[in-house]
Structure 1
Amino acid sequence: MTTSSAVSAAEAIAIRPGEPLVGTVRVDGSKNAALPLLAAAAALSRLVHLSNVPQCQDVRTMLALLRQCGYGIARSTTNPEEVVIQPISAASEPPELADAASIRASYYLVPALLASCGQARLPWPGGCPVGERGMDLHFRVYEAFGDQVLLDSVGYHVHRAAGRTRAVEITLPFRSRGASVAAILRAVVEGCPLTLIQPNASPEVAEILAFLRGAGWDTYGDENVVSLVPPGGGEAGSLAWEVPGDKVEAVTLACAVAVTRGCAVIKGVHAADVQPAMEAFAWLGIPAHAGADTVTVQAIDTQLTGQPLRAIASLSPGGLDADFEPSLMVLALGTPGVHLFGDAINPGRHGNLIPQLARLGAAIEQLSATHCRFSGPQRLVGTRVTANDIRSGSALIVAGLTAAGVTTVKGLAQLRRGHANLPRKLRQLGADITVDVA
């Protein structure tokens, strides 16, 4: 039998349909929450203990970048998901961070670099190839603090404003998560009050605000405004915080259970974080419930509603997270109705996923680069497909659980950027996933 470690190291895996998935599994910490929390820990300039830190590649890269910036990074010898971030003891020259080009979240490092070096020099960020996601709004945030931003063909250079900044008020033209976090962390570095109007209201931004409250900041956030007031005087001690569970991994696993008509409990995720996906399950007629720390899917002998699902990714408060959309699309392919899906937040993702699903036999009408429509249920047939980004890769694995024959998914380096070992979790639930030996 192929071991889990062999599956985790594979560059391609083979998936065969089998029995319904059943059992209990726990999600990793959230990559999307861990990356800004690591940057927030650095921006605080104090000792921070983070637990439940995922071991996916993007987080490993961020930790390596923090080391290059001069921060002390220590993993627990008994639990690699526990990380200690030690502040830089003295100002230094800005480091050359060539590896920052490999992840999107490298822009979260700017505030910490401004604190330690007075300037930040970074290459243009990389990450999943899901279309243009510009940084103009990030630069407007730094300019609101008086910083100077210089751009060139290889990256950008931010110089910290001279003198102390007073209270800052910023109105975002749209609810950018990256720009919201940039504004919050820049205020932390400056030690000044911030009013941020029309912020991103995602769980990841709420987590940063809760983290800062734990550090003594007076924070408030709702769908209209985020406000921060720095703590008063006094010595700042160490801070301990736990990274929340990965809501995207939880929804992906829930979709995998549902497409196989199984029954499982998925632990370690906040109910509110997955509520938009649970509403999609209910609309399709698939029993799923999010409790305080669990998602329960009971899809055995399900009576599907036949109602068409409209799943449009949105930055609005309570909207559907774009990272939920690919796995929900695969789930809807197996349910009756004419379904509409859209993701204008990541305009290249459909181009990554839909042609791969077509290789499996899916008939999906592309209404535009970001919107598509299809009728279900559809029958998929296994073949070789490629994971072109993290979320498309996980969706293709879910599709392989119901496709007739063998589905081989290659390009797993993309998947491991966001999930330390998603195939292993699916194997825990009974999925037939092995290393591809073809």
Structure 2
Amino acid sequence: MTRSSAVSAAEVIAIRPGEPLVGAVRVDGSKNAALPLLAAAAAMGRLTHLGNVPQCQDVRTMLGLLQQCGYSIARSVTNPEEVVIQPVSGARTPPELPDAARIRASYYLVPALLAACGQARLPWPGGCPVGERGMDLHFRVYEAFGDRVLLDSDGYQVRRAVTRTRAKEITLPFRSRGATVAAVLRAVIDHCWLTLLQPNLSPEVIEILAFLREAGWEARGDGDTIILAPPFDSEDGSLTWEVPGDKVEAVTLACAVAVSRGCASIKGVRAMDVLPVVEAFAWLGIPAHAGAETVTVQAIDTQLTGQPLRAIASLSPGGLDADFEPSLMALALGMPGVHLFADAINPGRHGNLIPQLARLGAVIEQLSATQCRFSGPQRLVGARVTANDIRSGSTLIVAGLTAEGVTTVTGMTQLRRGYANLPNKLRQLGADITEDAA
């Protein structure tokens, strides 16, 4: 096999409609939770055993970047989902990290670099082309701690303040997940008290707070405030923690089961993390239940309500995660009603996804760059489409399960950035998905 054909085989999959999806499958650890947890473990400066770490490409990239920063990273030989992070010993020169431009979450590296090197030099975030990843709020957080921020066309530099901050109160103008994690981890490396007003309290941030409590910190958050207080005594023992199950993969699989009118259990995900989607299923008339670690979808012989779905991505506590919105769109295309979708958090995502769905025959009215509506049910027909970002790729696979004929999805490199092997999980449930060379 030539190099070009090997790349092609890995880049293209074919989906054919078939029988309803049935059975049980377990999700991987969450990429969105693993990335900040890895950064938190590094910033903590203690030996950390982190379990259930997914093997998707973005996490692999983050582990490689932490190694370049001087952290010792090892995966267990017997369990590749277990990662051991060893703290940096001694002062280090800040490394050049061009690979950080490959992922959007590279900004989580800043506190780890400040702890290890006293300064961070990073290229502008890359990853999914779903709109600019604004860094201004991150910089305001670091400047509030007295750090110096320098910008140029290639990236940015943050230099740690000489004087350690003892206590800090910061108010965020909006509920940014990245800026919330930046503020929390910046407080960790200074071992200081923090009051953070109007934080993001997504499950990923709540997980960081729980990890800090395991490390001896007081860390609590409600709808309006996060409060941190360091341990009274210096802690130096090792830490053990588990990355939670991937809620986005669980929702994607649930939508796939629902569009196929199947019945399946999706294991390894917490009920509270997927509650907005379970409620959306109930609104549409699709029976679904979220237990302690399992989501069950029973879409066989359902009586649909015909009620229109409003899927509006939100940063508010309990709101719809923006990464849930695309898969719900694929589901709603087959549901009766006039449905409204909006994602102002990732303003480029609709531009990536809607033209590809149109190739399958979907008729979607774009009200703006971030809002659209459409009537269902619609008839989709297989075609060649492209995954332009992680979640668009998984959505096209879900849509292909209902399209007549063969749907060919290219650009699978994007999908593998966020999922270790989503097609294989769908095959476990009976989906007709194969790798193609063209």
Mark yes or no: TM-score above 0.5.
yes
Matched residue, 2:56? 56
The within-5 A match list for 1:160-309 is 160-309=160-309
Cα distance in 1, alignment partners of residues 238 and 404 from structure 2: 54
8 Å contact kept, 1:33–1:243: yes
Q: Does 1:153 align with 2:135?
A: no
Matched residue, 2:3? none
Cα distance change on mapping 1:119 and 1:234 into 2, 3 Å: closer
Q: 2:144 corresponds to which letter in structure 1?
A: A
Deviation at 1:164, TM superposition (A): 1.6
CA offsets 1:357-402 (integer angstroms, 9 cap, x no match): 0000000000000000000000000000000000000000000000
8 Å contact kept, 1:66–1:73: yes
Matched residue, 1:344? 344
The within-5 A match list for 1:417-432 is 417-432=417-432
Q: 2:102 corresponds to which letter in structure 1?
A: S
Cα distance change on mapping 1:391 and 1:8 into 2, 3 Å: farther
What SS does the aligned partner of 2:329 have? helix
Matched residue, 1:34? 34
Query: CA RMSD, aligned part only?
Result: 1.2
8 Å contact kept, 1:7–1:424: no
Cα distance in 2, alignment partners of residues 110 and 64 from structure 1: 15
Cα distance change on mapping 1:437 and 1:93 into 2, 3 Å: closer
The within-5 A match list for 1:43-82 is 43-82=43-82
8 Å contact kept, 2:9–2:436: no
Deviation at 1:437, TM superposition (A): 3.5
CA offsets 1:107-132 (integer angstroms, 9 cap, x no match): 00101111111110000010100012
8 Å contact kept, 2:51–2:81: yes
Deviation at 1:148, TM superposition (A): 0.4
Q: 1:171 corresponds to which letter in structure 2?
A: T
The within-5 A match list for 1:339-378 is 339-378=339-378
Matched residue, 2:10? 10
CA offsets 1:180-234 (integer angstroms, 9 cap, x no match): 0000000000100000000001000000000000000001101100010001114
Q: 2:399 corresponds to which letter in structure 1?
A: A
Deviation at 1:344, TM superposition (A): 0.3
Q: 2:411 corresponds to which letter in structure 1?
A: G
8 Å contact kept, 1:13–1:435: yes
CA offsets 1:147-187 (integer angstroms, 9 cap, x no match): 00000000000010011212010000000000000000000
CA offsets 1:309-349 (integer angstroms, 9 cap, x no match): 01000001110000000000010000000000000000000
Q: Which runs of 5+ in 1 are unaligned?
A: 1-5
Cα distance in 1, alignment partners of residues 132 and 67 from structure 2: 29
What SS does the aligned partner of 1:169 have? strand
Cα distance in 2, alignment partners of residues 159 and 24 from structure 1: 49
Matched residue, 1:112? 112
Q: 1:180 corresponds to which letter in structure 2?
A: T
Cα distance in 1, alignment partners of residues 152 and 18 from structure 2: 53
What SS does the aligned partner of 2:81 have? coil
Deviation at 1:133, TM superposition (A): 2.2
Matched residue, 1:3? none
Moved over 6 A (4+): 6-9
CA offsets 1:41-76 (integer angstroms, 9 cap, x no match): 000001000000000000000000000001000000
What SS does the aligned partner of 2:134 have? coil
Cα distance in 1, alignment partners of residues 310 and 89 from structure 2: 52
- Which 10-residue stretch deviates more, 6-15 or 186-195? 6-15
Cα distance in 2, alignment partners of residues 234 and 399 from structure 1: 53
Cα distance in 1, alignment partners of residues 9 and 208 from structure 2: 33
Aligned residues: 433
The within-5 A match list for 1:121-160 is 121-160=121-160
Deviation at 1:7, TM superposition (A): 12
What SS does the aligned partner of 1:133 have? coil
Cα distance in 1, alignment partners of residues 10 and 283 from structure 2: 36
Q: TM-score, normalised by structure 1?
A: 0.98
CA offsets 1:260-292 (integer angstroms, 9 cap, x no match): 000000000000000011111111000011100
Matched residue, 2:335? 335
Deviation at 1:9, TM superposition (A): 6.8
What SS does the aligned partner of 1:220 have? strand
Q: 1:54 corresponds to which letter in structure 2?
A: P
Cα distance in 2, alignment partners of residues 296 and 174 from structure 1: 34
8 Å contact kept, 1:384–1:410: yes
What SS does the aligned partner of 1:322 have? coil
Matched residue, 1:385? 385
What SS does the aligned partner of 2:324 have? helix
Q: 1:40 corresponds to which letter in structure 2?
A: A
Q: Which runs of 5+ in 2 are unaligned?
A: 1-5
Cα distance in 2, alignment partners of residues 9 and 272 from structure 1: 38
What SS does the aligned partner of 2:114 have? helix
